[in-house]
Amino acid sequence: MERTLVKDTINKVGQTVTLKGWVNTKRDHSKIVFVDLRDRTGLIQIVGTGELLGSLKLEDVVSLKGLVKARPEKMINPELATGTVEIEALDLTVLSHSAELPIDMSKETLEVELPTLLDYRALSFRHPKIQAIFKVQAVVIDAFRKALMAKDFLEFQAPSIINAVPEGGSEVFKVDYFDHQAYLSQSPQLYKSLLTTAFERVFSVNQIFRAEPSATTRHLTEVTSLDAEFNFIDSVEEVLDMEEYVVRFIFKEVEERCAKELALFDATTPLMSEKFPIIKLRDAQEIIFQRTGRDCRTEKDLAPDDEREICAWAKEEKGSDLVFVSHFLTKKKPFYVYPDPANPEYAFSIDLLCRGVEWSSGGQRLHDYESILKNVHEWGLKEEEVALYLQAFKFGSPPLGGFALGAERITMYILGLKNVREASMFPRDMERIDVRLSTTKQ
Ligand code: AMO
């Protein structure tokens, strides 16, 4: 008999159907047993005799033949999408037996610490709230693609094995590449920029690698980077406008397609004013000083506390969870940044902050060959390491810019997760590649 999906049972009252799925929960009253069966579309209540359902264990996989019955009015469960019906079990085949569960999957929220949840990742994926995280993330990534395709951007695949480290040397994984030294890519930056000189508008959804030696709640060593780059810009504002358009598009899609998932986390998409506010680094630092007395006015970057404070300011003063911070110090940024002609000490380099943390970096890039070459030397890079990049600009390139968003951070801060690892299916950090690297592994 053809399989019926759980979500479709509500339209099949009076019919006999075959459902296939996992035993999510079980309430055994010996003569009568209630089972919640789970498939990819949701949960449904099954009622059957002890004889038929009594020996089932949680997470057993079954094929179940049953009669769809409307529930009496007072038995309707408004919490469940299939709460108006239940299935009277008629016949059962166990397709696969589950071992005893190491974690209690029946709770609305898994009540285990993060390391345990990740140690049992294959199992924890089955929990509806964990699935919701990755549904939201898939929509974020899909919306990123859709937004850029609608603006005529071409998707490309950036290489992961590279020969140079454009974003700075310290946070890079080395790779033995036959007889050569290679690296895992920290960013598709140079590739996306050079591709604009042929395709004008490009984007990529790529894994990037950062040898972050710290264990914070916001850092992974492998990140899903949403990169966009385009040229023929008249000013850096065009880059900001494009990024704002993409971010708004993402939020709209998440709202429309993930209402259920947002509700599970009691989450809302970020507050947006008519236009995302923009503030220069030094002005942001002055505001932070005025508001808190903390003097960070000569720092080259915003510390985590500063990011939180400037986000609080943007929310209170501008009615926005999002704020662009521009004009970081040219010398502290990679060689490709475009210095502000009005004050070249600071660059058209721009972070987007939201809910207290950086979601994205971007800006305008140098496009003039001689200026790029000069910076390559000043930044201490070897010409041959960036030869392909130089080639692109030697043969004519319009002004360009772009940005990159971290998919895990967006997911984390939309849903209000406590740790970015929750927003990565298979998080890599200093102590973990799928299971823990430490010797205390259980
Ligand atoms: P940046 O290094 O700021 O910019 O990275 C862009 C965005 O990627 C995410 N991200 C991370 N998320 C979690 N853990 C990490 N270790 C991590 N590192 C980065 C963040 C961050 O804002 N080439 C530039 C982009 C550009 O200018 O277009 C770059 O790589 O959300």
How close is the Cα of 229 to the center of ligand 1, in Å? 14
Q: What is the pLDDT of residue 106?
A: 86
Query: How many whole angstroms from 406 Cα to the centroid of ligand 1?
Result: 6
Handedness of CA 141, 143, 149, 151 (dihedral sign): negative
Nearest ligand 1 atom, CA 212 = 16
- Residues 6 or more apart whose CB falls under 8 angstroms from that of 265 comprise 129, 132, 415, 416, 417
pLDDT at 1: 78
| Cα 225 to middle of ligand 1, angstroms | 7
User: Looking at residue 213, what is its pLDDT?
Assistant: 83
224 lines ligand 1 (CB under 6 A): no
Is residue 409 lining ligand 1, measured as CB closer than 6 Å? Answer: yes
Pair of tokens at residue 294:
């903390």
- Alpha-carbon separation of residue 339 from 328, 346, 364 (angstroms): 9, 6, 9
- Residue 359 tokens read as 């979601």
**Beta strands 343-347 and 349-354: pairing type?**
unpaired
Average predicted confidence (pLDDT) for the chain = 95
Contact 43, 82 (CB under 8 A): yes
Q: What is the DSSP letter of 10?
A: G
pLDDT at residue number 64: 98
Model-level pTM? 0.96
Active-site annotation, residues? 210, 212, 218-219, 358, 361, 409
Give pLDDT, residue 215.
85
Q: What pLDDT does 437 receive?
A: 86
Query: Which CA distances in Å does 432 have to 13, 222, 435?
Result: 48, 11, 6
The response to whether residue 219 sits with its C-beta less than 6 Å from ligand 1 reads yes
Give, for 365, the enclosing helix (H) or strand (E).
strand 357-365
- The Cα 322–Cα 315 span in angstroms is 8
What is the atom index within ligand 1 of the atom nearest the CA of 365?
Answer: 27
Is the CB of residue 420 below 6 angstroms from any atom belonging to ligand 1? yes
| Ligand 1: residue whose CA is nearest its atom 9 | 406
**Nearest residue (CA) to ligand 1, atom 27:** 362
Q: What is the pLDDT of residue 439?
A: 63
pLDDT along the chain (442 residues), means of 10: 96 98 95 96 96 97 98 93 97 98 91 95 96 98 98 97 78 93 95 98 97 89 97 98 98 97 97 97 98 96 97 98 98 96 98 98 98 95 93 97 98 97 95 81 50
Of all protein residues, whose CA lies closest to atom 30 belonging to ligand 1? Answer: 187
Could you tell me where the beta strands, DSSP code E, fall in 222-348?
A: 222-231, 278-280, 322-326, 339-340, 343-347
The pLDDT tens digits for 79-129 are: 899 999 999 999 999 999 999 999 999 888 999 999 999 999 999 999 999
Q: What is the pLDDT of residue 436?
A: 86
Which residues on neighbouring strands pair with residue 133, listed in sequence order? none
Residues in contact with 263: Cβ distance below 8 Å, sequence separation at least 6, in sequence order: none
> What type of residue sits at position 311?
C
Quote the pLDDT of residue 294: 96
pLDDT value at position 212?
84
Number of CB atoms found within 10 A of residue 61's CB = 14
